[in-house]
A = this chain, B = another copy of it.
Amino acid sequence: MTSSDPFTPIFVPEAVQDAVSGEAWLRAMLDVEAALAAAEAAEGVIPAEAAGAIAAAAPDLDGIGVAARGAGNPVVPLVRALRESTGDAARWVHFGATSQDVLDSAAMLVARRALGPVLAELDAVVGDCARLARAHRGTLMAGRTLLQQALPVTFGLKAAGWLAGVAGARARLRELRGALPAQLGGAAGTLASLGDRGPAVTQRFAAELELVAPALPWHGDRRPVAELGAALAIAAGAVEKVALDVVLLAQTEVGEAAEASGDGRGGSSAMPQKRNPVGAVRARASARSARAAAGVLLEAMAGEHERAAGAWHSEWRALSEALAGAGGAAWALHEGLSGLTVDPERMRANLDLTGGALLAEHVALLTGERDAVERALRAGRPLADVLRDDLGLGEEEIAQALDPARYLGAADAFIDRALELA
């Protein structure tokens, strides 16, 4: 289906594409109708055979999007098709429900299912970060603030920071995934047509779908969608931060890391010498897409009365985009990280570019001579000279003062803590 789509496959892995595809939404809507019937049959609202027939139905949904124009949502033609394919059970199809019940519950199903591969990609990124944090616990490099070298760090610590961000965002997504609510309210949120059995049906309905039964119908309370959108944007943002760092480390002039190349990977249509950080680049693009989609979902919170006239309709594709964007970002970053070549020598060489200036703080602390240190730096004098000539330190003392490995503070402890988060 996407064989002629030149863009989507670049940014979204198949598993996530599938999970947010039209088919996935239709499957989810049919699952919702079946779960509703099953719940209603269990509560004696409709006949058990009807529920069986509805669950077994395989309606023809070809062209459903076009058929949905008249009603403005696909549930209307889906219910019609379902009725046409369920014989005597037709009258029990969609009983007591409204379009929004089906679409909202389907949205939560799609989300739960899509979060499977999305979380798997985030797991993979967390795994990458953990591996890098362990492997490069002692790999010295320059810490950089405002893109200026600041103080020594280790690449392991950098990876640990990446890990903390991605793992934290993942934790929130997991939490929300476990709390995705089914929606059932009937035409205006009272479940009127279910009489006094509304809450019981809702309970069973949610259980059928492995969703949570909400305290109240949430047709007018869009937090389930908005919270999810925000969490996906935040996961995408955590990924985007790593991707940005990778792109920066891979710069020709920095050269501290490179994504895998070969077989056309990272190549250019014009420049044979290039080794582009393609995974990170794609991740950055996807993250922006997720963020924009989350913006639509946040804006959609303000809907009119018992069903919004447009805001609701804006959610469906935006939710898919948010899932695809976050999942795609994690996937592409994982591709980049999993084949990442790290160059400790280059890291060390870059660290030494400034002749020890990164250890100025260290020297100032050791010697208590901050002013002398600052003067020396401003004059462009190597710190070793200052230590030797002005302050009379011996060579071994000088070496220790200027050894970045001796000025890493709590880096190791922080790496350990991050690894616990993985």
Contacts A216-B414, A273-B358 aside, 11 further interface pairs with beta carbons under 8 A come to A76-B267, A143-B190, A146-B278, A146-B308, A148-B252, A151-B192, A190-B409, A222-B237, A270-B361, A272-B364, A295-B295
**Which residues of A from 62 to 95 have beta carbons under 8 Å from B?**
62-66, 68-79, 94
A292 CB contact (under 8 Å) in B215, B231, B243, B296: B296
CB-CB contacts of A132-176 with B at 8 A, as 1s and 0s?
Answer: 000000000011111111111100011011101100110010000
Q: Are A26 and B6 in contact (CB under 8 A)?
A: yes
Flag whether A37 is at the interface (Cβ < 8 A). no
Chain B nearest CB, measured from A279 CB (Å)? 8
CB-CB contacts of A204-224 with B at 8 A, as 1s and 0s?
Answer: 000000000001111111110
CB-CB contacts of A91-109 with B at 8 A, as 1s and 0s?
Answer: 0001001111010000000
List residues of chain B with CB within 8 A of the CB of A275.
148
Known contacts A4-B26, A281-B72, A284-B309; is A240 also within 8 Å of B301 by CB?
yes
List residues of chain B with CB within 8 A of the CB of A192.
151-152, 361-362, 407-409
List residues of chain B with CB within 8 A of the CB of A384.
none
CB-CB contacts of A9-25 with B at 8 A, as 1s and 0s?
Answer: 11100000000011101
Spot the interface stretch: A118-126, A258-266, A388-396. Answer: A258-266
Flag whether A41 is at the interface (Cβ < 8 A). no
A313 CB contact (under 8 Å) in B78, B241, B285: B285
Q: Are B187 and A270 in contact (CB under 8 A)?
A: yes
List residues of chain B with CB within 8 A of the CB of A168.
221, 223
A349 to B151, CA, bound (A): 25
Size bracket, chain A contacts: 35 or more
A147 CB contact (under 8 Å) in B190, B298, B309: B309
**A/B interface sample: 25 pairs, CB < 8 A:** A3-B62, A3-B65, A4-B62, A5-B22, A6-B61, A9-B65, A9-B68, A69-B282, A70-B264, A70-B265, A71-B264, A99-B268, A146-B278, A147-B309, A151-B271, A158-B305, A158-B306, A193-B362, A198-B409, A216-B418, A223-B238, A237-B302, A272-B378, A273-B360, A282-B313
Q: Are A186 and B151 in contact (CB under 8 A)?
A: yes
Q: Are B189 and A161 in contact (CB under 8 A)?
A: yes
The 4 closest A-B pairs by CB, nearest first: A284-B310, A143-B188, A237-B301, A9-B65
List residues of chain B with CB within 8 A of the CB of A243.
302, 310
A273 CB contact (under 8 Å) in B5, B254, B377: B377
